């Protein structure tokens, strides 16, 4: 009997201990699932999040607050708060940044490492040539170089146009640069080239003392003037000429009209017949549409509102339709003046869009439709805005007059410049992405005088020239790394599409002559 009582007590004790163990385990699992971890001696439990580091190149050493955490790519559980993160790899410049970890959130970072010793290779040179001009395509794929030489025996000038391809496929065995055009002239004419956005077409204008000829330059076709198509555009000599963004039409604008010229059909289309008292604002897009902004006649009597219509048509003027009739801008400047003085929170929240409550201000001066980004960049005489086509809402880009520099390759943000300097405006992010804020951020540690600014392919880094030195940095302006010094003779600087190398074009004068050495260099940076 005594032994039975003992067994009952032992069973009860084991049951109690088992219950405590199960309960404790359940609590531990719950705490773990909700981001709690064991901390140091002063803090038993701490809230945590996850840092995920994916570097390029990979297999770099990851340090957090000075402690080595392994090789990238790597995910590390860290207490909530600010942590100093650094990535090191032999032969590369150290990458470091303060990263905020939020509870139960994964925070990804993508360090792009730059070689500590950048190698330089001369990949092409033209010696003892007269340099005439050079052009860089908008898509950053091509450099065009024009030279001439005097052939004393035949008393003529021989012109040669070269095209250097920045991003050649590894199976491409063609000459680089290749000769696009060669022609002779008994005099030295003025030669102009207006490149199309695609970089393979252009208008070649040759101006002699007694005549002017315009050719359609097609880099995929013959290399003589006889092989090029003459463009019948001499009637537009007094017009301002530009390319439509789809590279299929030339745009001509005068004080009286706006005309689209089909380069394949050699046909012109009248898009706008101007009336003196109207202000005409127009643009094109990559998809081949023509847009114009005009006054909305329904609101002409409203003294408080600038109201506009946005009209879309084909490039020949057909199928014209109003796609936005609700472009409203206040005439009262008080609101934007307040924003110019205020840098507080909520500055970049979307504005409502109605004549009674619009927060947008000013007269529209320019715009750009980006269908890939599903929005419109709009400038007024007072500020600039981003209009989300899908949401039909405005975002304030800058409370000052600003200049659009370039959209990012992922079409989620763009670089712009205002009186404060260069900024990145983010208008789209992945759902639930806590690492990205909608709105504008000033790019730190970059001078307003910087030039040649454009995106790397990853949409996370930018390239620019400052004080005759080229740099690369992330879009916050951190990890600013010096690349090439003494760029005063550099006429072009283009990074390859994979970010591995920089191609430069430089022209060096030869003393006591009118000739030059033209050099293309390749710098391996990654």
Which residue in the block uniquely carries the two structure tokens 């079409």? 411
Q: Which of 82-91, 319-328, 335-344, 384-393 has the least mean pLDDT?
A: 335-344
Bridge-based pairing of strands 45-53 and 106-109 is: parallel
Q: If pLDDT is split at 50, 70 and 90, which confidence band does 345 have?
A: very low
- Between residues 53 and 28, the one the model is more confident about: 53
Answer yes or no: is pLDDT of 27 > 50. no
Assign 3-class secondary structure to 186-247: CCCCEEEEEECCCCCEEEEEEECCCCEEEEEEECCCCCCHHHCEECCCHHHCCCEEEECCCC
Which residue in the block uniquely carries the two structure tokens 């999040």? 49
Which residue in the block uniquely carries the two structure tokens 């790899």? 89
Nearby residues of 32 by Cβ (< 8 Å), 6 or more positions away: none
Q: What is the DSSP letter of 427?
A: -
Over residues 280-294, mean pLDDT:
96
Distance of CA 312 to the CA centre of its chain: 25
The DSSP bridge partners found for residue 269 are: 260
pLDDT at residue 16 in the model: 66
Answer yes or no: is pLDDT of 315 > 80. yes
User: Tens of pLDDT along 455-501?
Assistant: 999 999 999 999 999 999 999 999 999 999 888 888 889 999 999 99
Tokens of 292: 């114009």
User: Tens of pLDDT along 435-464?
Assistant: 888 889 999 999 999 999 999 999 999 999
Answer yes or no: is pLDDT of 222 > 80. no
Q: Which of 188-192, 268-272, 372-376, 387-391 has the least mean pLDDT?
A: 387-391
Answer yes or no: is pLDDT of 320 > 60. yes
Q: How many whole angstroms separate alpha carbon 62 and alpha carbon 74?
A: 8
pLDDT at residue 354 in the model: 73
Q: What are phi and psi of 255, to 5 degrees?
A: -70, -15
The answer to whether the beta carbons of residues 360 and 330 sit under 8 Å apart is: yes
Q: How many CB atoms lie within 10 A of CB 256?
A: 13
Q: How many CB atoms lie within 10 A of CB 145?
A: 25
Please spell the DSSP secondary structure of 128-195, one letter per residue.
EEEEEEEEE-TTS-EEEEEEEEEETTTTEEEEEEEEEESS--TT--S-SSEEEEEEEESS--EEEEEE
Burial of 124 (0-12, 13-18, 19+ CB in 10 A): middle
User: pTM to 2 decimals?
Assistant: 0.87
Q: What are phi and psi of 40, to 5 degrees?
A: -80, -170
Q: Is 339 helix (H, G, I), strand (E, B) or coil?
A: helix
Q: Which of 176-180, 341-345, 390-394, 422-426 has the least mean pLDDT?
A: 341-345
pLDDT at residue 205 in the model: 96
pLDDT at residue 108 in the model: 94
Answer yes or no: is pLDDT of 411 > 90. yes
Q: What is the CA radius of gyration of the chain?
A: 31
Nearby residues of 231 by Cβ (< 8 Å), 6 or more positions away: 203, 214, 215, 216, 250, 263, 266
pLDDT at residue 431 in the model: 80
Q: Which of 43-52, 132-141, 260-269, 312-321 has the least mean pLDDT?
A: 43-52
The answer to whether the beta carbons of residues 160 and 146 sit under 8 Å apart is: yes
Answer yes or no: is pLDDT of 346 > 50. no
The DSSP bridge partners found for residue 61 are: 71, 88
Q: How many whole angstroms separate alpha carbon 291 and alpha carbon 150?
A: 47
Percentage of the chain exceeding pLDDT 90: 67
The answer to whether the beta carbons of residues 60 and 53 sit under 8 Å apart is: no
Q: How many whole angstroms separate alpha carbon 403 and alpha carbon 285?
A: 18
Q: How many whole angstroms separate alpha carbon 84 and alpha carbon 99?
A: 6
pLDDT at residue 40 in the model: 54
- Between residues 511 and 193, the one the model is more confident about: 193
Q: How many CB atoms lie within 10 A of CB 503?
A: 21
Architecture of the domain whose range is 36-109: Sandwich (2.60)
pLDDT at residue 46 in the model: 76
Residues forming CATH 2.60.40 domain(s) in the chain: 36-109
Percentage of the chain exceeding pLDDT 70: 89
Answer yes or no: is pLDDT of 422 > 60. yes
């Amino acid at each position: 009997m005594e032994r039975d009582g003992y067994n009952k007590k032992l069973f009860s004790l084991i049951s109690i201990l088992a219950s405590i163990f199960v309960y404790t385990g359940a609590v531990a699992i719950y705490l773990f699932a909700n981001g709690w971890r064991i901390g140091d001696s002063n803090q038993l439990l701490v809230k945590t999040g996850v840092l995920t580091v994916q570097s390029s190149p990979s297999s770099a050493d990851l340090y957090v607050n000075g402690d080595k955490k392994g090789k990238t790519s790597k995910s590390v559980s860290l207490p909530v708060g600010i942590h100093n993160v650094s990535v090191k790899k032999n032969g590369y410049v150290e990458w470091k940044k303060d990263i905020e970890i939020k509870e139960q959130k994964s925070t990804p970072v993508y360090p792009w490492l730059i070689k500590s010793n950048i190698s330089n290779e001369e990949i092409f040179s033209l010696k003892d040539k007269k340099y005439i001009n050079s052009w860089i395509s908008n898509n950053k794929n091509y450099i065009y170089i024009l030279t001439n030489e005097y052939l004393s025996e035949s008393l003529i000038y021989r012109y040669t146009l070269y095209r250097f391809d920045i991003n050649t496929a590894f199976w491409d065995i063609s000459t680089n640069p290749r000769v696009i055009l060669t022609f002779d002239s008994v005099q030295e004419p003025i030669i102009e080239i207006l490149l199309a956005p695609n970089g393979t077409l252009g208008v070649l204008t040759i101006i002699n003392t007694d005549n002017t000829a315009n050719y359609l330059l097609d880099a995929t076709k013959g290399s003589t003037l006889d092989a090029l198509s003459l463009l019948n555009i001499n009637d537009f000599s007094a017009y301002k000429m530009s390319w439509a963004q789809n590279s299929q039409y030339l745009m001509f604008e005068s004080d009286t009209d706006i005309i689209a010229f089909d380069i394949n059909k050699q046909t012109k289309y009248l898009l706008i017949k101007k009336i003196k008292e109207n202000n005409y604002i127009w643009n094109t897009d990559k998809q081949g549409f023509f847009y114009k902004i005009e006054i909305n006649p329904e609101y002409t009597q409203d003294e408080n509102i600038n109201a506009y219509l946005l009209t879309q048509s084909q490039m020949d003027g057909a199928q014209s339709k109003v796609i936005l009739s609700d472009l409203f801008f206040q005439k009262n400047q008080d609101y934007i003046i307040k924003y110019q003085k205020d840098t507080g929170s909520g500055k970049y929240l979307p504005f409502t869009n109605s004549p009674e409550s619009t927060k947008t201000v000013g007269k529209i001066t320019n715009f750009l439709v980006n269908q890939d980004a599903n929005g419109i960049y709009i400038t007024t005489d007072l500020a600039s805005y981003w209009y989300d086509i899908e949401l039909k809402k405005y975002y304030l880009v800058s409370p000052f007059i600003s200049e659009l520099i370039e959209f990012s390759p992922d079409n989620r943000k763009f670089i712009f410049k205002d009186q404060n300097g260069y900024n990145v405006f983010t208008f789209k992010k992945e759902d639930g992405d806590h690492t990205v804020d909608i709105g504008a951020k000033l790019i730190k540690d970059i001078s307003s005088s910087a030039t040649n600014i454009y995106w790397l392919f990853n949409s996370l880094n930018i390239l620019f020239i400052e004080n005759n030195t080229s740099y690369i940095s992330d879009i916050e302006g951190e990890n600013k790394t010096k690349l090439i010094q003494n760029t005063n003779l550099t006429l072009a600087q283009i990074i390859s599409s994979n970010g591995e190398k920089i191609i430069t074009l430089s022209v060096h004068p030869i003393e006591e002559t009118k000739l030059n050495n033209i050099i293309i260099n390749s710098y391996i940076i990654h």
